């Protein structure tokens, strides 16, 4: 059986700030996530980027981009890649371990898979750019998640902020649609 390896692209680290750089606000954090998603398109990847930030000092812990096609792995979404990278970097299975408080900043709202992973990851806050309907308008299938997903996360003490730089995040999605790159797991008439 093959070893399971999900690697970040080598170019990713060239776009990240220094480890001690303080991300000033939600807009600056989202600008980085959106920049990663745009660069990922230029490199043939999916139109999604995400970062994990330490809420105590607003510094970057990890970053991820969509690697589904590149890795032939349907779970290699930007959010999952960023969470796994943070957990591996910190050597913890929960990002809340030791009282740590982290947030996931993602260029688009979580799909069903990423929504499901949030509470197990130990993330305490989620900041979203584009809405699920923006992602679906490009043709991606976001899966089935609760209509009240924001409230469901808040019930688990995970704060959610939506629509941060939504227009910029949606521009990346539209650029992807125009690029002719593959819309994997796309919505079809028989999906539901």
Structure tokens at 125: 């806050």
The full DSSP string for 141-181 is ------TTHHHHHHHTT-EEE--TTHHHHHHHHHHHHHHT-
Residue (of 30, 35, 31, 24) closest to 58 by Cα position: 24
Phi, psi (degrees; rounded to nearest 5) at 41: -65, -45
Active-site entry in 39, 79, 109, 142: 79
The DSSP code for 98 is G
79 is catalytic: yes
The vertex-71 CA angle with 144 and 91, nearest 5°, equals: 85
What is the C-alpha separation between 92 and 169, in angstroms, rounded? 30
| Cα of 186 vs its chain's centroid, Å | 18
Task: Enumerate the active-site residues.
Answer: 79
């Amino acid at each position: 059986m093959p070893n399971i390896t999900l690697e970040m692209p080598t170019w990713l680290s060239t776009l990240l700030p220094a480890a001690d750089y303080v991300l000033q606000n939600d807009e600056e954090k989202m600008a980085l996530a959106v920049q990663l998603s745009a660069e990922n398109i230029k490199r043939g990847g999916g139109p999604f980027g995400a970062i994990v930030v330490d809420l105590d000092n607003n510094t970057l812990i990890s970053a991820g981009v969509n690697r589904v096609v590149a890795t032939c792995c349907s779970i290699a979404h930007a959010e999952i890649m960023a969470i796994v990278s943070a957990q591996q970097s910190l050597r913890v299975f929960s990002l809340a371990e030791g009282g740590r408080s982290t947030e996931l900043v993602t260029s688009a709202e979580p799909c069903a898979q990423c929504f499901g992973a949030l509470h197990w990851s130990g993330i305490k806050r989620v900041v979203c750019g584009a809405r699920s309907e923006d992602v679906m308008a490009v043709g991606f299938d976001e899966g089935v998640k609760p209509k009240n997903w924001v409230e469901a996360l808040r019930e688990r003490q995970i704060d959610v902020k939506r629509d941060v730089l939504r227009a910029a995040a949606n521009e990346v999605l539209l650029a992807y649609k125009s690029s002719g790159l593959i819309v994997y797991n796309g919505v079809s008439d028989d999906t539901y």
